[in-house]
Chain A
Amino acid sequence: MGWRFVLRRCGDDLFSIPVSSPVEAQGLAEQLRASGDWLDVVPGIDSVVVRFDATRLDAAGAQRVIEASLKAGIEPLRGCDELIEIPVVYGGEFGPDLENLCNDIGMTPAEFIALHTGKEYTVDMVGFTPGFAFIGGLDKRLRIPRRAEPRLRVEAGSVGIADGRTGLYAMASPGGWTLVGRTPHRLFDASAETPFALRAGMRVRFRAIDTSEWGE
């Protein structure tokens, strides 16, 4: 057990628990959520942060619940069988950064699209803005950092890449990912029983479409 597993109080009502991967974070979050002791359980890329209500559970009690869960062992989130296909219009006005990106990494847009649509991915986590999906497993050749200057507005459905992941904007927001395309697939529906189309552990495949298929 290295330092990474040291439970950390990070506020009067917050604990941060370091873990080693997004699937561990998701798995631990699910374990913790099952106890019903928390106001919020937020898995990240390599941590889980929980918020507890000091009027119902004191810090020592919260720590005991977390430690019991850690002692029982973290069951990493298993990928679900469900595979969701996300149609994407790559490049052009929907993917305004694609051309520059391809110049930078020495690839044609067609090669990029073949690479991006050529494999299956997993949703690592959802967060930042409502329904925003961090999708892991991007090809090493496509690893670029976030833009130095984030955009003030990125449209809903936008598909971006950064830091080895694909990001899907469920709704319009500011954003710093390099935009390669956009999907007409509805990622958020407030009136649906599950309002967000994507959740952690889901398998994802991208399929290139052209603008004529946008409305279908």
Chain B
Amino acid sequence: MSIAVLKPGLQTTIQSRPRVGMRHLGVPAGGAADPLSLALANRLVGNAWDEAALEATLLGPTLRFDSPCTFALAGAHATPTLNGKEVFMHRAVAAAAGDELVIGSATVGARVYVAVGGGFGADDVLGSTSTNLQAGFGGLEGRALAAGDELHFAAGPGRECETPEEFRPPMSSSWAVRVCASVETEQLAATSREQLFGTNWTISRRADRMGLQLDGPGLNVSSDGRMPSAGVFPGTVQCPEDGAPYLLSVDAGTVGGYPRIAQVARVDRHLLGQLRPGDHLRLLLRDPDEAVEALHAKFDYWRAWLPEVEEILL
């Protein structure tokens, strides 16, 4: 059972669950940048939520099914076609051998997830099949897909179903995420602190699975730029000497030497995978306990469609 990659897209990788508990070895979390959309795509084809799927960034791949399968798409808005005819997102679709799937461009949001019944075969390294591009392991030889690649998948059950409207995450070009104060938030000058939480930031061109640079007013941080390296996580907002906040994403390094000025709360971390250059972002300052309450409310909402939501939004 295989799928041929005719065009790889801008950056298409195999992603599944994150690597948890290895940050002290320098191993980033990784995994789907938007794990909720990964889980939604997998559920439609009858897979476990964390089965290996394709994560397509901005411009998706063109694929040819060399054997029949069931596939499903979730995540960013796009207008994919199967043999030239539009296929819908959030729906399991049966493909025949020879069918050609064009994912095309994401129009709103950044990443489309492609799941196939049975899941893609991928290298299992350090407890996950997720691709780590920097270190070059996991997924398909630790790299993004290239034209001519052949992807293998196990024959899966596949089922015909669609995601109910209320469980299709809204995509936007204007986002807000809840954040908490972090260890060095107080090193920000008072006006900079107001700017951090009051500015409608713009996602810069420097935006990938490692992190997103935020364009806006320069922040003043009282630091000599020699902070001893300390633990950072996906969702940590760092402030380098140049004053441009840098929001760490799933593949970020495990320690850093820049002041940590905010931390995206667990409840909204999955949104980071859908931010694209030019999008706007507000950082909403919340008390940590409020953020936990919001997390439990999100769990209560999603449990009806994704019973493993607590693990998905880890």
Contacts and interface: CB of A to CB of B under 8 A. Distances in A.
Are chains A and B native binding partners rather than an unrelated pairing? yes
A159 interface: no
A132 B26 contact: yes
Interface in A134-171: 134, 145, 163, 170-171
Interface in A1-50: 8-14, 16, 29, 38-49
Interface string B199-234: 000000000000000000000000000101111110
Contacts, number: 149
Contacts of A46: 228, 230
Contacts of A190: 125-126, 137
A173 interface: yes
B20 interface: yes
Contact of A45 (B23, B135, B229, B299): B229
Q: Which of A9, A14, A196 has the most CB of B within 10 A?
A: A14
Contact of B26 (A16, A47, A129): A129
Contacts of B26: 126-132, 170, 196
Interface string A40-76: 1111111111010111001100000000000000000
Contact of A9 (B134, B136, B232, B288): B288
Nearest to B132: A130
A172 B291 contact: no
B48 interface: no
Contact of A42 (B23, B134, B260, B264): B23
A65 to B, nearest CB: 16
Interface stretch (B8-16, B145-153, B160-168, B176-184): B176-184
22 contacts: A9-B180, A12-B180, A12-B288, A16-B230, A39-B21, A40-B20, A40-B21, A40-B24, A40-B233, A42-B23, A42-B255, A44-B230, A46-B230, A47-B231, A48-B231, A51-B233, A55-B299, A125-B24, A125-B255, A128-B254, A129-B254, A130-B132
Interface of B: 20-28, 125-126, 132, 134-137, 180-183, 226, 228-233, 235-236, 253-256, 260, 263-267, 286, 288-289, 291-292, 295-296, 299, 310, 314
10 smallest beta-carbon distances between A and B, as pairs: A49-B231, A42-B231, A11-B263, A45-B228, A44-B230, A12-B291, A127-B255, A12-B288, A40-B23, A10-B182
